[in-house]
């Protein structure tokens, strides 16, 4: 897999297949603060949902 360079606020989504040939989505996002998120999911929607959940944990306003 090639190196992924993203500017803050930028996302990248790539269709891939796992070892069994099952279609997946490789999703990467760089937050506005520079934190990096990456996951492999079954769909773009699932990946974006996981990213949104991650973003909430990154935002100090939501931390208890």
Q: Please state, in angstroms and rounded to a whole number, the distance separating the CA atoms of residues 5 and 49.
A: 21
pLDDT digits (tens, 9 = 90+) for 2-24: 566 899 999 999 999 999 999 99
Using the predicted structure, report yes or no on whether residue 1 has a pLDDT greater than 70: no
Query: What's the pLDDT score for residue 54?
Result: 94
pLDDT digits (tens, 9 = 90+) for 23-41: 999 999 999 888 999 999 9
DSSP symbol at 55 = H
Query: What's the pLDDT score for residue 45?
Result: 97
Each residue of 37-52: b (16+ CB within 10 Å) or e? bebebeeeeebbebbe
């Amino acid at each position: 897999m090639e190196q992924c360079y993203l500017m803050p606020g930028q996302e990248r989504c790539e269709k891939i297949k796992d070892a069994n040939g099952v279609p997946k989505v490789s999703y990467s996002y760089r937050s506005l603060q520079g934190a990096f998120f990456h996951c492999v999911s079954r769909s773009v929607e699932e990946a974006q949902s996981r990213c949104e959940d991650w973003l909430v944990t990154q935002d100090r306003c939501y931390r208890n």
